[in-house]
């Protein structure tokens, strides 16, 4: 095999030139030619703060080290490209110059670019294609310095140059920001961490770079979502890494048989809550549940970080645009699409278009309350279309379901109006559990009014609650076995109560309502507030039992 090789930018940016040398595929002490055109491209990417530029620069440094050790002979050849040649780069002018330099030096062109390689073969240049490593059949454990900042309770870590490292520890809805150590993160340290992340993402078949812009890169490295920012986007170099602490199923949430039946028929669902409340975790559980119901499920995500089963295909922006993704996704004809997250006006339009096309939708929305999630649609779509687009709102708080609202349209006189001539279309928003009217939404002149019926609602809740307590006292008492596992609690009833809806009590205090499985069990995760509550009451020697709902 010839021992003279010329590299193009692709094998520098994917690092395969180093793998070829290390594996001995280029022979003993090969002569490596690097064109100044390649150097200029790497320098340009680095100057505009692209992580791929820093990665390519590190590959060049390693090639120089190999030259100094006598393992290769490195030569930098040719002239730097002119401004006119750089302008013509999209048309292939720079690639043509790289092929020309390889031919002039009687070198084999090493490339990972199919078009570059095929044209070089046509021009009579010998080509060695250097593809990235073959996919691994099994996931090897990650080995990164970054992981040293994580422990079993860490949700995310926050590293910034010249500051001490911080971490969020706890569970969704119940976390705290703590300083990991007093040691300041120096420039070299954070640069080494960033470079190691990019190297691993590019080499790992199960990881990918999601977004790369000037001064920012978003990578999905296995279950870790990593954001690296630099000036001019941020005021300093910063690394944020987030991971899900738990993967839950729908049975881990406070869902009774009525709500589960609602989820089977609902087609316009909004999952809302504040940042870190557990919206994405619940949405992933809902996606896996629909998959188990033999539904075709897809996701649409700006950053593909939902922890869903491999049968669920995760889509992101096509050519940088979610509209393009939506056009393709509609042709796939999914039964349900998980849209994480609905934020911009265009996102709301895509969500609405999918619903009106008959696709079941689960949209993840940031909001401080359940009604706020609906308000984000108002003004973006016609009010009369609202119930056709949204039928169920699930508010997540503290990692569990806090509020469920349902929507329907009616024609009536709005609450507080006395003149019957003022009847109009009104969107009613009701609490799912009590069926009490919580809000009315209607047009009044040029404005849209959201009327809160809180006083009447609170009185109705008190009446409902009192009646509920009276009726449960005469119900059959069910003995429950409390089985504690490593990460969950199992409540086990007698087989004859299988698939029954029950109310769980500690002594005379109701803890939650739920549905027993076919095995007459309820599984509660210890990250779930009901699970923690049961454990706490049991430790107080309270009697845990249930009643038929």
- Residue reference for tokens 């960033």: 194
3-class SS of residue 476:
coil
Residues 434, 482 within the same domain = no
| Average pLDDT, integer, range 389-406 | 91
At residue 549, the 3 state secondary structure works out as: coil
The pLDDT value recorded for residue 457 is 40
Omega into 78 within 30° of 0, i.e. cis? no
Q: Report the candidate in 507, 493, 509, 491 with the shortest Cα–Cα distance to residue 542.
A: 507
Q: Is residue 138 part of a domain?
A: no
- Asked whether 260 and 249 are in contact (CB, 8 A), the reply is no
Q: How far is CA 148 from the centre of its chain?
A: 23
Q: Residue 330: which CATH number?
A: 3.40.50.300
Above 80 in pLDDT, residue 339? yes
Classified as helix, coil or strand, 138 is coil
pLDDT tens digits for range 137-154: 445 666 788 988 998 889
pLDDT of 295: 93
- pLDDT tens column, 260-283: 889 988 889 999 998 878 898 899
pLDDT tens-place string over residues 29-59: 899 999 999 998 898 888 887 778 888 999 9
**Residue 36 counted as domain residue:** yes
The confidence band for 458, taking pLDDT boundaries of 50, 70 and 90, is very low
pLDDT tens sequence across 516-540 = 887 788 888 887 788 888 888 888 8
The total of structural domains in the chain comes to 4
Domain stop point among 242, 269, 290:
242
Q: Is residue 137 part of a domain?
A: no
CATH number for the domain spanning 178: value is 3.30.450.90
Residues 436 and 542 in one domain: no
DSSP state at residue 47: H
CA distance 377 to 370: 12
Please state, in angstroms and rounded to a whole number, the distance separating the CA atoms of residues 166 and 154: 10
The pLDDT > 90 percentage for the chain reads 34
* Domain span at 64: 4-129
Q: Are residues 486 and 463 in the same domain?
A: no
Q: Does the pLDDT value for residue 351 go beyond 50?
A: yes
- Coil vs helix vs strand at 501: strand
Q: From residue 226, give the alpha-carbon distance in Å to each of 53, 147, 241, 528.
A: 18, 12, 4, 26
Q: Domain for residue 136, yes or no?
A: no
Q: Is there a single domain that holds both residue 439 and residue 324?
A: yes
3-state secondary structure of 139: coil
% of the chain at pLDDT higher than 70: 92
């Amino acid at each position: 095999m010839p021992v003279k090789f010329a590299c193009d930018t692709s094998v520098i940016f994917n690092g395969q030139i180093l793998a070829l040398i290390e594996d001995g595929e280029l022979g003993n002490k090969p002569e490596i030619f690097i064109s100044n055109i390649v150097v200029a491209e790497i320098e340009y990417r680095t100057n505009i703060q692209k992580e791929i530029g820093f990665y390519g620069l590190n590959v060049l440094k390693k090639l120089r080290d190999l030259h100094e050790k006598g393992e290769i002979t490195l030569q930098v050849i040719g002239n730097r490209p002119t401004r006119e040649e750089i302008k013509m780069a999209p048309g292939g002018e720079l690639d043509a110059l790289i092929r020309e330099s390889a031919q002039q030096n009687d070198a084999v062109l090493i490339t990972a670019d199919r078009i570059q390689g095929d044209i070089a073969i046509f021009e009579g240049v010998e080509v060695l294609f250097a593809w990235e490593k073959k996919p691994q059949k099994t996931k090897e454990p990650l080995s990164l310095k970054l992981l040293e900042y994580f422990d079993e309770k860490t949700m995310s870590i926050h590293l910034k140059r010249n500051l001490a490292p911080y971490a969020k520890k706890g569970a969704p809805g119940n976390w705290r920001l703590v300083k990991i150590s007093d040691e300041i993160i120096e420039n070299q340290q954070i640069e080494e961490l960033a470079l190691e992340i990019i190297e691993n993402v590019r080499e790992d078949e199960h990881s990918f770079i999601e977004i790369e812009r000037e001064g920012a890169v978003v990578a999905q490295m296995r279950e870790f979502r990593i954001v690296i920012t630099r000036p001019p986007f941020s005021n300093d170099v910063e690394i944020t890494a987030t991971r899900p602490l738990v993967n839950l199923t729908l049975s881990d949430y406070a869902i009774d048989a009525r709500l589960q039946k609602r989820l089977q028929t609902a087609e316009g669902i909004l999952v809302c809550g504040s940042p870190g409340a557990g919206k994405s975790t619940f949405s992933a559980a809902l996606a896996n549940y629909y998959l188990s119901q033999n539904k075709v499920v897809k996701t649409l995500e700006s950053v593909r970080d939902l922890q869903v089963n491999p049968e669920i295909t995760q889509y992101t922006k096509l050519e940088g645009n979610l509209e393009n993704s939506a056009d393709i996704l509609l042709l796939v004809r999914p039964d349900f699409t998980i849209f994480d997250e609905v934020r911009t006006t265009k996102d709301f339009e895509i969500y609405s278009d999918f619903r009106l096309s008959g696709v079941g939708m689960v949209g993840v929305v940031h909001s401080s309350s359940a009604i706020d999630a609906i308000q984000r649609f108002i003004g973006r779509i016609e009010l009369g279309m609202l119930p056709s687009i949204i039928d169920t709102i699930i508010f997540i708080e503290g990692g569990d379901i806090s509020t469920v609202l349902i929507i329907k349209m009616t024609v009536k006189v709005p609450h507080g109006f006395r003149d019957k001539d003022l009847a109009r279309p009104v969107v009613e928003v009701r609490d799912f559990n009590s069926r009490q009217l919580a809000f009315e939404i209607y047009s009044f002149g040029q404005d849209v009014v959201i009327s809160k019926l809180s006083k009447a609602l609170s009185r109705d809740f008190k009446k409902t609650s009192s009646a509920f307590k009276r009726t449960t006292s005469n119900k059959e008492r069910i003995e429950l076995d409390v089985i504690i596992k490593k990460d969950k609690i199992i409540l086990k009833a007698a087989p004859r109560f299988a698939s029954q809806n029950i109310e769980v009590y500690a002594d005379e205090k109701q803890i939650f309502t739920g549905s027993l499985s076919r095995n007459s069990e309820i599984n509660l995760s210890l990250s779930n507030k009901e699970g923690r509550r049961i454990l706490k009451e049991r430790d107080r020697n309270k009697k845990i039992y249930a009643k038929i709902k």
